[in-house]
Structure 1
Amino acid sequence: MIKVVAITGASNGMGFAAAELFAKKGWIVYGGARRVEKIPVSENIHALKLDVTDHDSNVAFIKQIMATEQGIDVLINNAGYGEYGPVEDTPLDNARRQFETNFFGAADLAQLVLPIMRAQKSGRIINISSIGGDVYMPLGAYYHATKAALQQWSDSLDIEIAPFGVRSLIIQPGGTQSAWSDIAMAHARKNLKTDSVYTRLVDKVSALLTANEHTSGASSRDLAQVFYKAATDERPKRRYFNTLGDRAMVWLARSCPRVFKKVFMWTLIFWGKRAERK
């Protein structure tokens, strides 16, 4: 039986690669994004306009799928971005927009697909968080808050819907080879106030993120494989990681917070000095 997957944020990065992979595996894919023209198109991929911060857009997205299909087997809540910036400087309107995209968009779509999945007595809601749901760094306070919220929400939801044959799962990618860091740091610089005392900190974090992506970042195709595993595992896990290193980083942050903070501060100082020498 051919299965149906709905993927948000399908116009680039992990969402784009996942749309291609699921289609290659024989799934019917409905990819949603604001830049609909950038979603990959093939015989099995249907590109739909979607703004997850707009309830009417979310309703239209699900209605368009159900107008053709008998159900939705998997929803992948992948849309998201990093609204980086110092807590003191970042306008709260920007922080609210971060929550609307990274958290409330996923919650809205979940409410729309759950009646469908309960009726068919099966389905998975796969929520793309980040190791940043447990790991943290300066400038990322609002981003980390959205991912931590998504994880707790997903865990609570999973308990509620498991009796109906439906699951809610979390994927926690680490560094990725994408434009994510560039976009996050562009937001950080935009959120700086004039003559901000945090300008040097932005330079240090930017150097650290750039180095991490160039040396250890996973490719979008690597992460698409994790998406597919979460969608198809006979016994799905509560959490999925791409590498043992990502899992270890989360363990360190949660189990040894003092050690994590020291290691992170040493790393930040190292890359900060390198950035200053350039």
Structure 2
Amino acid sequence: MARARTILITGCSSGIGLDAARTLHASGEWRVFACCRKEEDVDAMRARHGIESFLIDYSKPETIERGFEDVMRETGGTLDALFNNGAHGSGGAAEDIPTDALRAIFEVNFFGWHDLTRRAVKAMRAQGGRGRIVQCSSILGNVVMPMRMAYSATKFALEAHCDALRLELSHDTDIKVISLNVGPIRTKIRENSRAHFERWIAPLVEVSAFRSFYEKKFVPRLYGPYKKDMGELEPSAVTAKLTLALDARRPAPRYSVTWPTHAFMFLKRILPGWAFDQVTLRAMGLWPAAKKLHP
């Protein structure tokens, strides 16, 4: 009987990571290492779901090193796939984002991913130059929306990382690098971004040029009763694309998950810049320009 393939998944406490871990584990085809950033979530993953789990917190490099070593110890030094998933949002107008807020979100959404990815590549090279690296990117890694600059910047950086790594590894390995361009998915990213908004942006709202927008649209969406976004799907939609990326003999460089992702990426290709700007401003409730910022 062939051994189950091994996969390390991050950000597994809820949402996309949890659904991916449970689905692949239930398939019987994968030995899943579902990593979380909190010890209590690691314990719950083991006790409640019966899935092997270790601590990996992207903001703490020592946990990345230790967590990866723990997985390698369990597998005997091999790894068939890595699915980088954990991330957080930090919404706000570009002119309101403190530089330290950018440093903080890049540490979690990009630098930590880079650290873990490098370790996976080294292990995959050592096992004969084969494996899959799947990065959970976003529509915001291809299309910029107002009030989402910080998160979008990390995902644009990730898309560049994916492209460079894919091209480089194609030279002398069979390691495939795939980006999942996720759109609106029901996760806790909105709830989890509140603390970052409160730390970095909330103290600046009263003096912001976007004060009215924050008060009328941004804050009610962030803290109010949950309302589905247009085209929003469940995490299982991402897992379906992940499975395709893991199993396809020749996976595509990137997979779009939701119809808004397909639509906005298509419109960006065919529309002149000024027209696409109007589309994105309307989508965010900021059009006509300069008329919805003030009472």
TM-score (norm 2): 0.84
| Count of aligned positions | 274
Correspondence for 2:217: 204
Which stretch of structure 1 is more off in the superposition, 66-75 or 204-213?
204-213
**What is the aligned counterpart of 1:155 among 152, 157, 163?**
163
Work out whether residues 281 and 287 of structure 2, in 8 Å CA contact, stay in contact via their aligned partners in 1: no
Q: Residue 94 and residue 177 in structure 1: after superposition, are their counterparts in 2 closer, same or farther (change >3 A)? A: same
Give the 5 Å matches for 1:147-226: 147-162=155-170, 163-184=172-193, 187-188=196-197, 190=199, 191-192=201-202, 193=204, 194-202=206-214, 203-205=216-218, 213-226=228-241
CA distance in 1, matches of 2:49, 2:284: 46
Work out whether residues 184 and 230 of structure 2, in 8 Å CA contact, stay in contact via their aligned partners in 1: no
Amino acid at match of 1:204: K
CA distance in 2, matches of 1:182, 1:198: 21
Aligned-partner SS, 1:235: coil
Q: Residue 150 and residue 137 in structure 1: after superposition, are their counterparts in 2 closer, same or farther (change >3 A)? A: same
Q: Residue 269 and residue 234 in structure 1: after superposition, are their counterparts in 2 closer, same or farther (change >3 A)? A: same
Which stretch of structure 1 is more off in the superposition, 143-152 or 240-249?
240-249
Amino acid at match of 1:152: A
Aligned-partner SS, 1:172: strand
Aligned-partner SS, 2:124: helix
Displacement of 1:214 after TM fit?
A: 4.2
Q: Residue 128 and residue 88 in structure 1: after superposition, are their counterparts in 2 closer, same or farther (change >3 A)? A: same
CA distance in 2, matches of 1:110, 1:80: 15
CA distance in 1, matches of 2:138, 2:198: 22
CA distance in 2, matches of 1:231, 1:24: 16
Give the 5 Å matches for 1:68-217: 68-70=74-76, 71-120=78-127, 121-162=129-170, 163-184=172-193, 187-188=196-197, 190=199, 191-192=201-202, 193=204, 194-202=206-214, 203-205=216-218, 213-217=228-232
Correspondence for 1:59: 65
Displacement of 1:251 after TM fit?
A: 2.2
CA distance in 2, matches of 1:166, 1:44: 29
Correspondence for 2:242: 227
CA distance in 1, matches of 2:286, 2:63: 45
Which stretch of structure 1 is more off in the superposition, 207-216 or 53-62?
207-216
Aligned-partner SS, 1:129: strand
Which stretch of structure 1 is more off in the superposition, 200-209 or 40-49?
200-209
CA distance in 2, matches of 1:38, 1:28: 19
Displacement of 1:22 after TM fit?
A: 0.9
User: Any unmatched runs of 5+ in structure 1?
Assistant: none
Work out whether residues 12 and 38 of structure 1, in 8 Å CA contact, stay in contact via their aligned partners in 2: no
CA distance in 2, matches of 1:29, 1:56: 22
**What is the aligned counterpart of 1:236 among 251, 257, 281?**
251
Correspondence for 2:37: 34
CA distance in 2, matches of 1:208, 1:241: 25
Displacement of 1:54 after TM fit?
A: 2.1
Which stretch of structure 1 is more off in the superposition, 91-100 or 29-38?
29-38
Work out whether residues 185 and 206 of structure 1, in 8 Å CA contact, stay in contact via their aligned partners in 2: no
Q: Residue 115 and residue 186 in structure 1: after superposition, are their counterparts in 2 closer, same or farther (change >3 A)? A: closer
Displacement of 1:228 after TM fit?
A: 1.6
Work out whether residues 175 and 212 of structure 1, in 8 Å CA contact, stay in contact via their aligned partners in 2: no
Work out whether residues 231 and 259 of structure 2, in 8 Å CA contact, stay in contact via their aligned partners in 1: no
Provide, for residues 3-25 of structure 1, a one-character-per-residue CA deviation record: whole Å limited to 9, x for no partner.
Answer: 00001111111001100011011
Q: Percent identity?
A: 28
Which stretch of structure 1 is more off in the superposition, 123-132 or 29-38?
29-38
Q: Residue 183 and residue 63 in structure 1: after superposition, are their counterparts in 2 closer, same or farther (change >3 A)? A: closer
Amino acid at match of 1:177: R
Displacement of 1:55 after TM fit?
A: 2.1
CA distance in 1, matches of 2:165, 2:211: 40
Amino acid at match of 1:88: E
Provide, for residues 233-262 of structure 1, a one-character-per-residue CA deviation record: whole Å limited to 9, x for no partner.
Answer: 111110011134422211212442332221
Work out whether residues 10 and 32 of structure 1, in 8 Å CA contact, stay in contact via their aligned partners in 2: yes
